[in-house]
Structure 1
Amino acid sequence: MNKDTTVADRSAEVGRQAGERLPGEVTAAFEAELARLVAAGVPAGVAAPGAKMPDGDLLDMYGSPTTLAAVLAGRPAVVVFYRGAWCPYCNVALHAYQEALVDELDARGVALVAVSPQKPDESLSLAEKHALTYAVVSDPGNRIARQLGIVFTLGRGAREAQAKLGLDLAAVNADGTAELPLATTVLVDTDGTIRWIDVHPDYTTRSEPAEILEAVAAL
């Protein structure tokens, strides 16, 4: 796929393929969950620009303890919260960011970090699959995501649909729960202050690379 193809275009193709491949009852359950999340909208109390970026204990891809501050090492950063390696929409977004953002951010001295609640081995598999050169870390228990106000619990219908596909979210998540972060991109400056935050209740949509770079240009 052309590197200039938008995340939205890639996500639309994921949705089209899923519609052709998945059983009707599974598709219906996922559509109902998506409608629920979109109707709920961005949660009240989500962190706003000007707030300090929260920190917490993380695990790197190899299971070693770290923190967000250690990963950033004093650099401004684009921090991307995603659901997990099992989510095809997350996969296309993270791959697109590798293609469209890494070199641009490196040239500006800006770090790129992807954060999810999944176990480290899932993070490692995702990074290897997409040849990601940026940091991919686990946030067990969604500690950082929770402080940002972007955590939700996946609905029962969606969990049952996932089970029909062989996915047990509680087994994949590092804390054994069905809690997930909303797809969110946060721009943090060198002082650890949030300068821009983009929250997507609709997990089929993500921050586009052009939007992220526009926010970075304003640092």
Structure 2
Amino acid sequence: MSEEGARAPPAVPLAASLAQFTEKLITRRGVEQSNVLFGGQIGPATKALSARTNAIGVGDKAPHFSLPMAEGGMWGLGEHLALGECASLVVVFYRGTWCTYCNLYLRGLLEVRSQLSDANAALIAVSPEAAPASGDDASAEDARFPVLIDHGGKVAEQFGLTFEMDDAAKNVLKSSGLDLEKRNADGRWILPVPGTFVIDRSGSVAYAHVDADYRTRPEPQEIVAVCRSLRS
């Protein structure tokens, strides 16, 4: 059978891809350094989430916000909803193009982009990174969805997501040449806990996935199923 006629292999579940990368990361950095990196981010994120009184969840109205796009211009939630062109909007808060977990997740969403389009769903990504588009991530020029720059994590804060990793984790990243003070728009280490929200036509949150463990993300097909349920 020719390659053209062969059936495409089933997509690898996102969870499996994330787990494989975690194994590679531990092999590369070693168990001790990896535990410092994981614990120094997951611990503070967990503490920040547990202390939040403003966390946005299913049934809440999404905060209206307006942010600059990486490619220029502004994008506003209020304006988007007013157009009424989409049945739902998928909002992804991601840490930055330096985070392979975030890139794997966004690539997974891009793989189901046609299914999201069929469900009449739009997609945006929100990051504190000053210039999130690069040649080594899913938000590069072929992504075809708005990438918004969240200076200081102000919008992430509105959704109840912001935290700051501990100094030990910062030092591990700095030792490998990654300094978020230089990459983030406000020059700080403030990050969003990775969150995915699906917002319906009325501006209400129909789905929310927030996990302090940044190594865990929802399967793209789960997002597609939610958007399909909102199509009508």
TM-score tier after normalising by the smaller chain length: 0.7 to 0.9
Picking from 182, 186, 196, the partner of 1:171 is 182
Query: Is the 8 Å Cα contact of residues 116 and 122 (structure 2) preserved in structure 1?
Result: yes
Superposed displacement of residue 132, structure 1: 1.6
Structure 1 pair 124–68 and aligned structure 2 pair: CA distance change class (3 A): farther
Q: Is the 8 A contact 2:119 2:224 kept in 1?
A: no
Amino acid at match of 1:27: S
The one of 191, 198, 205 aligned to 2:216: 205
Provide structure 2 residue ranges, at least 5 long, that are not aligned to the other structure.
1-8
| 2:67 counterpart residue number | 58
CA contact (8 A) 2:107 2:138 kept: no
Match among 8, 17, 27 for residue 20 of structure 1: 27
State the Cα distance separating 1:205 from its structure 2 match: 0.6
Please state how far the C-alpha of 1:129 moved relative to its aligned partner.
Answer: 4.8
Q: How far apart, in 1, do the equivalents of 2:211 and 2:46 lie?
A: 12
Matching residue's letter, 2:26? G
Q: Which residue of 1 aligns with 2:192?
A: 181
Match of 1:9 among 16, 39, 43: 16
1:3 and 1:68, CA in 2 relative to 1: closer, same or farther beyond 3 A?
Answer: farther
Q: Which residue of 2 aligns with 1:150?
A: 161
Report what 1:88 is aligned to. Answer: 100
Specify whether residues 184 and 24 from structure 1 end up closer, same or farther in structure 2 by C-alpha distance, changes over 3 A only. same
Amino acid of the residue matched to residue 12 of structure 2?
T
Distance 1:31 1:112, change over 3 A: same
Higher mean C-alpha deviation, range 126-135 or range 84-93: 126-135
Query: 2:132 aligned with 1:122, yes or no?
Result: yes
Mapped partners of 1:210, 1:35: distance in 2: 25
Change (3 A) 1:22 1:70: farther
Distance 1:127 1:68, change over 3 A: farther
* CA RMSD, 1 decimal: 2.3
Q: How many residues align?
A: 216
Contact 1:123 1:138 in 2 (8 A): no
Structure 1 letter corresponding to 2:23:
R
Q: 1:14 to 1:131 in 2, by over 3 A?
A: farther
Structure showing greater Rg: 2
Identity of aligned residues (%): 30
Distance in 2 between residues matched to 1:176 and 1:96, nearest whole Å: 29
1:77 maps to which residue? Answer: 89
Deviation at 1:140, TM superposition (A): 1.3
